[in-house]
Structure 1
């Protein structure tokens, strides 16, 4: 059964002058971050729908 995403909420906090978190700024290798991979696929789907 396919899943349909109707809303997507993204919340980030930005602090100037702080050092970036090493785990968040450097993904280890492809396939180890399933969230980033999922977001990338969703963005590709959105771009394809815009082209139509």
Structure 2
């Protein structure tokens, strides 16, 4: 039985004080965050494509 995802909620909490203290780590964290977001979007697009194929 296939699983259907009707909604996808992404919640991100940003702590500005911690971000200001770690400027060099921020760029690495931003890269990881952007990569995770893009992978999530790709997965949603793939799910929608499979849904339309049915």
Bigger Rg over Cα: 2
State the TM-score, normalized to the length of structure 1.
0.40
Q: Which has the higher contact order (CA 8 A, sep 6+)?
A: 2
More helix by share: 2
